[in-house]
Structure formats: structure tokens, C-alpha cells
Amino acid sequence: MRISDADREQVAQVLHQAMSEGRITINELEERLTVVYAAKTFADLKPVTADLPNGTAIAPTSSAPLQSAAPRALGMPDNRLGGHPGSTTSIGVMSGAVRKGSWVLPRQHTSFAFWGGVEIDLRNARFAEKSCTITAVAIMGGVEITVPDDINVDVTGIGFMGAFELEDKSGAPPAPATAPTVKINGLGFWGGVVVYRRPAKDPNAPQIDS
């Protein structure tokens, strides 16, 4: 049977729970999530959770896509809130750091780039709380943050001999008040922090074959 995005998210939540309980490591989580988001059938998903509690109890959620879209359209609470928070830091010192895919943005996340780069993509993320803050500092480096156009974003950082800016690549109207809000502050010193507002659907995310 072909699986939906909601089915993949159901398995992803089992994996996040297993990591929070110490059953798998962060590296194992990333490896298994790669398999999950590339999966096309339930047979592809079974080996990912076969050794975990409740791993064999995953059932199809054929109605989930319609249910998940309804709360946002009707002004109900956003269903992307909650989950075990991910790392509170992303550091690139003469190197790079990437946070993307299925992860949970904690209430406070700090990104620091020095002679390096940090990339944060929130298009497939969950949010630990309705209001989260990212403090981004780029010193002779760069921090790139991509936010979906169905959340609220507030950029208040400072660029000193550098840049700290928001670029709207979507043009969509502001998100409803019930959507998560991400506040982005910090400093770009001889470097840059750029926040890109893009369509909520990540074009690189796995698609369901029609």
C-alpha cells in the first residue's frame, strides 16, 4: 500500500520518541528519518521501527491530510506544535551545520557561524511552543534561515558591516494568528544572516506518486 505524508510523520514521531527515551542515538535517528522520507510503501517503513516499542502498531492515516489542513483554514490551533525539542544550538566554525527535514524547533535556538555557515530550514519542522526564538550570530560567516509562509516570522537582528535581512520569496499574505511564530534576532558582523520566506511545501521533500 502506498503511504501518505501523514503516515511518514507518524513513523517520524515514533523515532523522535525513541531517541528521547535513549533507545536510539541522534545519528541513528537521522539515518532512519532519511529512510522514512524516501519510503513509498508500508513495507519500506516496517524495518525502520521493527526493533522499537509500538513500532509494529503503525496504521494508515488516509484521512490525516484533510484533517491536518482543516485547523489552519478554520482558525483552529495549529497541529505542528509539540514534540521533543531538538538541539538548542547550531554551530559552524570554519565548517558548516545544517538543520532541516523533520525536527522540532525548541523554544530558544542559537545559531553561530564564524568563518563558516549554518543552514536552518523550518518548512518540515515542528515547534516546541507556539512562540520560538532563533538567535543568529554570523561573524565573517553566514547563517541562512528558511521559514515557511504559513507561520509568522519577526526579524529584528542587527547588521554591522554585514547584513541581517528578510527576503520574502513567497509573496503570500501573513499567516493567521493561530500559526506558530518564530522571532529571529542576533548580529551579522562582517558576515550575513538572511531569512528567506518561502512557500510552505518543501520542493525537496518526498512526494506521493499519483
For the segment 25-44, the average pLDDT, to the nearest whole number, is 83
* Biggest alpha carbon–alpha carbon distance for the chain: 55
For residue 54, what pLDDT is reported?
Answer: 64
Q: Are residues 116 and 26 in the same domain?
A: no
Q: At CA 131, angle to CA 108 and CA 93, rounded to 5?
A: 30
For residue 91, what pLDDT is reported?
Answer: 93
Q: Are residues 120 and 193 in the same domain?
A: yes
Q: Is residue 51 included in any domain, yes or no? A: yes
Q: Is residue 48 included in any domain, yes or no? A: yes
Q: How confident is the model at residue 181 (pLDDT cuts 50, 70, 90)?
A: very high
Q: Are residues 105 and 163 in the same domain?
A: yes
Q: Is residue 121 included in any domain, yes or no? A: yes
Domain housing 13: 5-62
Q: Are residues 184 and 93 in the same domain?
A: yes
Q: Are residues 102 and 172 in the same domain?
A: yes
Q: Are residues 141 and 47 in the same domain?
A: no
Q: How confident is the model at residue 207 (pLDDT cuts 50, 70, 90)?
A: very low
- Name the domain boundary from 45, 62, 79: 62
Q: Are residues 31 and 112 in the same domain?
A: no
* pLDDT at 159 > cutoff 60: yes
Decide which of 75 and 107 is more confident: 107
For residue 68, what pLDDT is reported?
Answer: 44
For residue 69, what pLDDT is reported?
Answer: 42
Point out the least confidently predicted range of 66-75, 95-104, 139-148: 66-75
Q: Are residues 115 and 194 in the same domain?
A: yes
CB under 8 Å to 152, separation ≥6 — which residues? 174, 175, 177, 179, 180, 181, 182
* pLDDT at 182 > cutoff 80: yes
Q: Are residues 167 and 96 in the same domain?
A: yes
Count up the domains in the chain and report the number: 2
Q: Is residue 20 included in any domain, yes or no? A: yes
* pLDDT at 92 > cutoff 60: yes
